[in-house]
A and B are shown apart, each in its own frame.
Chain A
């Protein structure tokens, strides 16, 4: 059994003033879809930010493709294939769709053009709007753009932070369809979601986080029917 492509050990993150993550460990096997679920404030975003090099953890380790990347700069991680689709999408609204995609390829100059073409084929909606300023897109379209942008970076591991947030249910369907396709193509996906049921249905393995720690973990299908998951969100005994 090959070692997991991404593993996090005893991660502690004090993000600003909040001690958001208090010793979290998890891992993702290559090609799998792992999900971190939990209520807001449970520390999920801080974990992804720490993995992506956007926040320096107070202690703990992140290992990617066999190397310790805990202190690696964010831009180096992207060029290594660890790419994030951030919470709130962080689309550059004053730039066009095409420019956003080009920026996705910042670390992949040689393959950029080909990847962008591929994205246009996969997301015809974006192709139609390629010259439009990204701020004019709807929420769902922006989420697609954010995902496409990340894919242009040719990720080996894709970190997705709350892709369904603020989107109407039908759009959420679309998003999860795309996530399934990404996973099918061999990319490892670490998915953080507040919508636990959706996420667990899509995932292979799940971790339930509560106030900065892993409360439960297990194969996603088991967690779906585990009453303790509901309890973790709503505090019922």
Chain B
């Protein structure tokens, strides 16, 4: 039971990170590999806000949400917009986002140094609760609640709101969206902003979960995030959520029963099998794209 809960906590963070990835891919057909840099950067900035500025975690999270959003706008403008219309746009987008992400991380190192950062010990409540024979900290509950709230909020927004309709229109056929009078450029920028906002919050939550942040935290989660979205189906929001939980649970169980060194294989093993057996993923409906 304890493991189940741990898996859910870890999985919900993976899901939150992955949902940002899949949002951009679903709407814009682009894989944004700077997403992990947003994750890391937001974690550090979040820690700064709590440790130095003494802000409570409840104020920090919304600030990070906005901060992530701004980073998303920058990424779109610098790494993707200039490539519009180029016939190698997909490949070039991968490379340019890798490049920009590397630059973000380098700046991060410049600002914060190479050491691990931690939250101050009294930053948030330490209580623990008993639940069905397992021990759960208030912190972990908060993480799950925030992650789920954001993901549910996003899903509702996409399916009910005008902006969500616009995004779905662009996702299905950007040309048709243009004909309808939708400002596709603005929708694109907003999508990136939203995606990175979520990625940023995921970063802070992750840092909270393990109470540390390092420059390299992004790369391992990036690979897991890719695994999650492929398993769940590229472009599918419920797929990212389910996939994240699956990977989180699988990892926790693998560590308990098989040994921690095999932990990462799980995600990739799943990834590989899905790519070979059902490339569109669990919920994916799109064709496997030819680039």
Contact = CB atoms under 8 A, between A and B. Distances in A.
Contacts of A83: 181
- Residue of A73, A90, A91, A93 ringed by the most chain B CB atoms within 10 A: A90
Given A90-B173, A94-B172, A95-B172, A54 B179 contact: yes
B178 A54 contact: yes
Contacts of A84: 179
Nearest to A49: B179
Given A78-B180, A79-B181, A103 B173 contact: no
A92 B177 CA distance: 9
Contacts of A75: 178, 181-184
Contact of B165 (A79, A86, A102, A107): A102
Contacts of A79: 181
B162 A102 contact: yes
A153 interface: yes
A92 B173 contact: yes
A123 interface: no
A230 B143 CA distance: 72
Contacts of B183: 73, 75
B165 A103 contact: yes
Given A92-B169, A95-B169, A106 B182 contact: yes
Interface string A86-114: 10001111110001001110110100000
Contacts of B30: none
A74 interface: yes
A10 B162 CA distance: 39
Contacts of B177: 103
A92 B179 contact: no
A15 to B, nearest CB: 13
Contacts of B169: 92, 95, 103
Q: Give chain A's interface residue range (CB within 8 Å of chain B).
A: 20 to 34
Interface residues of B, number: 17
B284 interface: no
Interface in B147-178: 162, 165-166, 168-169, 172-173, 175-178
A94 B168 contact: yes
A44 interface: no
Interface string A192-232: 00000000000000000000000000000000000000000
A92 B176 contact: yes
A149 interface: yes
- Residue of B172, B181, B183 ringed by the most chain A CB atoms within 10 A: B181
Nearest to B168: A95
A73 B277 CA distance: 44
Interface in A112-170: 149, 153
A53 B176 CA distance: 13
A6 interface: no
Interface in A54-91: 54, 73-75, 77-79, 83-84, 86, 90-91
A13 interface: no
Contacts of B179: 52, 54, 74, 84, 86, 90
Nearest to A149: B180
Nearest to A159: B179
Contacts of A102: 162, 165
Contacts of B181: 74-75, 77-79, 83, 106-107, 153
A90 to B, nearest CB: 4
A106 B172 contact: no
Nearest to A74: B178
Contacts of A107: 181
Interface of A: 52, 54, 73-75, 77-79, 83-84, 86, 90-95, 99, 102-104, 106-107, 109, 149, 153
What are the 10 A-B residue pairs with the smallest beta carbon separation, nearest first? Answer: A78-B181, A90-B176, A75-B183, A107-B181, A75-B181, A74-B178, A86-B179, A92-B172, A103-B180, A106-B181
Given A78-B180, A93-B172, 9 more contacts: A77-B181, A78-B181, A84-B179, A92-B168, A92-B169, A106-B162, A106-B180, A149-B180, A153-B180
20 contacts: A52-B179, A54-B175, A74-B181, A75-B178, A75-B181, A75-B182, A75-B184, A78-B181, A79-B181, A90-B173, A90-B175, A90-B179, A95-B165, A102-B165, A103-B165, A103-B177, A106-B166, A106-B180, A109-B162, A149-B180
Interface of B: 162, 165-166, 168-169, 172-173, 175-184
